Amino acid sequence: MSINTLTCITTAAYSLLSSTTTEHVPNPLSVRHFDKSNDRNAVSSSWPTLEIPYIISPDLASRTDDILSAMEMVSKHTCVSFHKRTIEQNYLLFKTSTGCASFVGLKGGEQPVFVGPQCMVGNIAHEILHALGFHHEHTRMDREQHITVIHSNIMPGKDGETFSLPYDATSIMHYGRDFFSATGLPTIFPKKDVKEMGQRDKLTKTDIERVRRLYSCVTKYKK
């Protein structure tokens, strides 16, 4: 497993993944977490199919509807779909944990997507997009034009492909103002007023278009 392909969105997920692996989980707010290229969504990490197999662990049976709703958020406006695994070698395994987390892009074989009690439908969709190959919006090289990261407010230990589409502070892949805050004060401050920064209610038009471009969707956009 690659050091730079693991991502988490909650403190609990950070602790879980740090304690169960020997890897260092890079801080998604840190400048050191930037990729040198302008396009973080490397095509090499995308799945070679538009039909993604999955298994929902029995201990997550009570969350089946939430997971299916999250898949629907992704598939509704794109050409990517999800189906229960039969004999496929590569597949997503949704499993219970204390937080929400996923690897970025195809890793091969059984690929976990961690779902904790506090992971709502939008959080699960966020993790599915990671699994499809998408990094956090706020790790783009052009982020400084749109947001200011306030490092002094970040919890200790956490300071560490654009497809020619504009920066989207309302992306479902963007963190909110106080994510990873040590004091409740902002860790990310938008340079323009963006009330929905950090939202997990829906994929934005930009999110949808990125999926469509990464997976070469040619079907008509479904409204």
- Active-site residue, selected from the candidate residues 23, 88, 127, 196: 127
Q: Has 196 been annotated as catalytic? A: no
User: Is the separation of the CB atoms in 5 and 103 below 8 Å?
Assistant: yes
- Enumerate the known binding-site residues: 126, 130, 136
Give the contacts of 26 (CB within 8 A, at least 6 positions apart). 3, 4, 6, 32, 33, 160
Separation of alpha carbons 161 and 97, rounded Å = 29
- Enumerate the known binding-site residues for Zn(2+): 126, 130, 136
Nearest alpha-carbon partner for 94 in 119, 60, 125:
60
Burial environment of residue 23 by CB neighbours within 10 A (0 to 12, 13 to 18, 19 or more): middle
Separation of alpha carbons 206 and 3, rounded Å = 28
Amino acid letter, residue 125: A
What amino acid positions are annotated as catalytic residues? 127
